[in-house]
Amino acid sequence: MTPLRTAVLMKTDIVGSTPSFRALLATDIQTLHIEHRSFVARHAADRGGRIVRPTGDGFWLEFPSVTAAAKSAITMQEALSLARPGRGTDRLFIRIVIGLGDVTEQDGEVTGDVMALITRIEDITPADEIYITAAARLVLAPAEVHAALVENFHLKGFDEPVPVYRVEQRHRTRIMPNAYILVSDLRGLRASPKQSPLSQSKACSIPSIR
């Protein structure tokens, strides 16, 4: 029998689809999925995470710690929101769930009860949100990431209400490539001593329309 081990698992899922997404050709949709996999894998790797299984429009990932997983999830959400700012629903939305529990691994396939819990929580997770299980929240470093109780939910397959927490994505400094800030300094600009501010305003005044 394969021995049990404790693992930090994350489940990502693309929420819904936009009119432009539905209008894509099959080859374009395939390209989008390949790019999305690269996006998720890259951000996960930055925090020591890895994809363990693709599923539908999302992925199962494993991380070395809950805090690392939560930070990676926040980075993913921020990157997606900045990818196409101001486009409203015309961008990719994902929901993310993080859990902690015992799993087994055989032939590269990870299984465990925590995966069933994550799947149930995923059903109630809104777009652009990060939900975590109670076990994951207990070991989350509060100085790094804060999580607040959403509610105790009655989930299918669970006899008692299950507490679910939400990762609060606080505002922080972001590095935005290809962004420019224009700073103007008017301290050296002075009005002529022979001309009062009032006379200046008269010189450039526009007649009112009656």
- What's the alpha-carbon Rg for the chain, to the nearest Å? 25
**Spatial CB neighbours of 34, under 8 Å, sequence gap ≥ 6:** none
Q: Supply the pLDDT for residue 87.
A: 47
Structure tokens given for 165: 């927490």
- List, in order of start, the domains of the chain with CATH numbers: 5-168 (3.30.70.1230)
pLDDT at 205: 41
Give the pLDDT of residue 41: 97
Predicted TM-score (pTM) of this structure:
0.76
Token pair 């990870």: residue? 110
Query: What residues in the chain have per-residue pLDDT under 50?
Result: 85-87, 173, 183-185, 196-210
What's the pLDDT score for residue 26? 74
Q: Which residues contact 189 (CB under 8 A, 6 or more apart)?
A: none
In this prediction, residue 33 carries a pLDDT of: 84
pLDDT reported for residue 27: 79
pLDDT at 188 (0 to 100) = 57
pLDDT at residue number 21:
64
Q: What is the 3-state secondary structure (H, E, C) of 12-60?
A: EEECCCCHHHHCCCHHHHHHHHHHHHHHHHHHHHCCCCEEEEEECCEEE
